[in-house]
Structure 1
Amino acid sequence: MAYNKLNNPRAFPGNSNYGMSLRDYFAGQALAGDMADDALPSNASAALLEERAQLYYRLADAMLRVRAEEEAISSTTAMMGLNL
């Protein structure tokens, strides 16, 4: 199944429909990695912060697309009896 923003599973699935989406989790991890490297100054402008937030979500979207592609490849090869 191809990735789209509506196909965004829960990061920690369970018996609930509530909680963080995988997209939010990926974006948060990108943010955490950026912050660990002191990439943003403490006095960063609102415009810079918004730009970075958009970047984190673009990274998350890219991760979800690659994840969907990998799952499609795995499903196809499994159906063909291949083990890659």
Structure 2
Amino acid sequence: MAYSKLNNPRAFPGNSNYGMSLRDYFAGQALAGDMADDGLPNDASPALLEERAQLYYRLADAMLKVRTAEEALTNTTAMMGMSV
């Protein structure tokens, strides 16, 4: 997925272009949820940690994809005078 400011904006927009992207925020939330559920063993291998990190970013990518599709649907129906 190619990222741009349109489909991966700042998580906490304001007057600054700095800070966490929405993709990073989604990945962090997936991580937090996973850790709250069962966590990882203290002796987790670097390979396991990297695998989990990749999973969290794949989840974030899926969330951004659905978000973009939902926004497109909402914008299309709004232009047609319909509500969703």
TM-score of the alignment, normalized to the shorter chain, above 0.5: yes
Which residue is 1:42 aligned to?
42
Quick one: higher RCO (CA 8 Å, sep 6+), 1 or 2?
1
Instruction: Give the aligned CA root-mean-square deviation in angstroms.
Output: 1.1
Amino acid at match of 1:49: L
TM-score by length of 1: 0.92
Give me the whole-angstrom Cα distance separating, in 2, the residues matched to 1:60 and 1:4. 13
Unmatched 5+ residue regions in structure 2? none
Unmatched 5+ residue regions in structure 1? none
Aligned runs of 1:5-84 on 2, under 5 Å?
A: 5-6=3-4, 7-84=7-84
Q: Percent identity between the aligned chains?
A: 79
Pairs aligned (count) = 82
CA shift, 1:36, in A, is 0.2
Amino acid at match of 1:5: Y
Q: Which consecutive segments of 4 or more residues in structure 1 shift more than 3 A?
A: none
